Amino acid sequence: MRTGSRTSQQRSLSAPPPSVIDWVGVFRPTSLILYVLLAIVLGTGLSIVRTTHENRFAFNELQELREQANQLDVTWGQLLLEQSTFGVEGRIEQKAVDQLQMQVPELSSIVMVSNE
């Protein structure tokens, strides 16, 4: 009987069983270093993913803006051609004479109107 009572006394006097955190060894220096390195690697990986995502969107926007710039260049070229076509000296007068049968009036038939 004494041996049975001794073991129960020894159990009650001994330290409580270690917790899960102590059992895993979270607070050991090597484990802390490992967890810090793991957090750094995870943070770096997430920042790489975010940066890659932002770069893809920026590249897509750049491509759209380049396409828009090309379209504007084409439109500008067409407007320059149109301007040079309509702005040729004598072209308007030639069109007026040919298509509308207009002619420059005689000086005697020109009437000056005053603004007063």
Tens-digit pLDDT profile for residues 44-88: 999 999 999 999 999 999 999 999 999 999 999 999 988 887 777
Residue 28: pLDDT band by 50, 70, 90 thresholds? confident
DSSP string, the chain: -HHHHHHHHHHHHSPPPPPHHHHHTTTSHHHHHHHHHHHHHHHHHHHHHHHHHHHHHHHHHHHHHHHHHHHHHHHHHHHHHHHHHHTSTTHHHHHHHHHH---PPPGGG-------
Q: What is the pTM of this model?
A: 0.48
Instruction: Give residue 27's pLDDT.
Output: 77
